[in-house]
Amino acid sequence: MLEVKGLTKAFGALRATDAVDLEVQEGETLAVIGPNGAGKTTLISQLAGNLRSDTGRIRFAGEDITSLSAPQRSRKGLARSFQITSASSASSRSRWRSPRARGYYSSTSRWPAWASRSRSA
């Protein structure tokens, strides 16, 4: 389903991805793990077409998609999603009882620093 050969991206002297090879079969789940700065986001951006690779090939569903843009890849079924780490869903806000928090929340989408402390209802 997804085949990557020799994918490389450098930013000056720093090689964020260096000749990455990987293969993911249909229905398979693959995790990309590593410390900060290891190139995980760069790799995902390359696969999704948000960042052009310096070298290497990307094949998806048997087709070479290396030169396709992100929207073109998305139309073929390959797209990325972003991890949402904020606690700003409507349900979590409705449980917060502080008038100060409600007033603050009407103008921003992030919890204020003081809201992260445990509060009794």
pLDDT tens digits for range 38-89: 999 999 999 999 999 999 999 999 999 999 999 999 999 998 888 777 766 5
CB 8 within 8 A of CB 53: yes
| pLDDT score of 5 | 97
The third-level CATH classification (topology) of the domain covering 2-75 is Rossmann fold (3.40.50)
| pLDDT score of 43 | 95
Global pTM reads 0.67
Return all residues near 2 (Cβ < 8 A) that are at least 6 apart: 22, 23, 24, 47, 58, 59, 60, 78
Annotated domain spans of the chain: 2-75, 85-121
| Polymer length of the chain | 121
